[in-house]
Amino acid sequence: MLEKLNTDKIKSSLKTKFIGREIILLANIDSTQDYAQTNLATLANGVLILAESQNRGRGRFGRVWHSPYGKAIYMSIILKDNFRAELLPQVTLLTSFSLAKYLHSEYGLDIKVRWPNDVILGKDKIAGILAETKSEAIIIGIGLNVNQNLQELPESATSLFLHLAREQDRNYLIAQFLNHFEKDYCCWLKKGYKFLRELWLAYASLKGKKVVAKTNFKVIRGVVEDLASDCGLILREDFGYQLKINFNEVIKIR
């Protein structure tokens, strides 16, 4: 049976200090990111915006994020911490790694992050992260495929349901992830890139792999060596040269 999102149920498992202490739950919205952008001035640090469905869910480079009613998690977290826009790549990676780590610990699944923002299971995408900035705030958008069956998913996507063969309680999942994420966020505030690098070593899907990266200007082939301190991807080209793909440059990486 389809269980609806319920703020009381989420709060009953929530142990955070500020993330998700206030929840705005919407039955339907164009995009939780757009809602957050429009209402940012009135939204406090840590507010969570949740929707049962989105009409115009969006991902990186304006790609469509399929958002059927009641099946998945579509949420945006507001962080107001005098951010500089340069930190967006770090926050994107932090959130991707934190979600991968949480899903691994909760369900024992081999979840990884395909740089920079795809959370994957096998070759398929199970979640996507979109961090955006406005007025020194960061809005982290998270789309997680939970209870969709194969017909309800776009190509190259998967869901928890497909791997666990039973429906998952989204209210519990949201609360547990936020408990986990707040700890990781606070750790990152203290340790910065060093913390991200630790997560990279454990959860990066591309480390040591030969990849083809398509950017606006070129196609690059090489072996992935490391995560740069600005969150670019360091590759060793076939000719032996090292080069970096910038976070905002990559369109597709395989």
Q: Which residues bind ligand BTN (CB under 6 A)?
A: 31-33, 54, 57-60, 63, 65, 74-76, 117, 128-130, 141-143
- Running DSSP on this structure, what letter comes out for residue 246? -
* Least gap, CB of 66 to ligand BTN (angstroms): 9
d(CA 210, CA 229): 21
- Give min distance, CB of 71 to ligand BTN, in A: 12
Residue in the block written with tokens 């900035």: 133
Give me the residue whose beta carbon is nearest to ligand BTN. 128
Give the separation between CA 231 and CA 9, rounded to whole angstroms. 36
Compare residues 171 and 222 and give the one whose CB is closer to ligand BTN.
171
Judged by CB, which is closer to ligand BTN: 50, or 199? 50
Q: How far is the CB of 75 from ligand BTN (least distance, A)?
A: 6
CB of 142 to ligand BTN, least distance (A): 6
Q: Which is nearer to ligand BTN, 123 or 221 (CB)?
A: 123
Smallest distance, Å, CB 51 to ligand BTN? 7
- Measured between its terminal Cα atoms, the distance across the chain in Å is 37
- Residue closer to ligand BTN, measured from CB, 62 or 240: 62
**78 or 130: CB nearest ligand BTN:** 130
CB of 140 to ligand BTN, least distance (A): 9
Q: Is 125 helix (H, G, I), strand (E, B) or coil?
A: strand
Does the bond joining 154 to the residue before it have cis omega, within 30 degrees of 0? no
Q: Report CA-CA distances (Å) from 223 to 30, 137, 150, 179, 243.
A: 39, 35, 32, 35, 10
Do 188 and 195 contact (CB within 8 A), yes or no?
yes
Q: Which is nearer to ligand BTN, 16 or 95 (CB)?
A: 95
Pick from 176, 177, 146: which is nearest to 73 by CA?
A: 146
Residue 201's nearest CA partner among 113, 142, 110, 123 is: 113
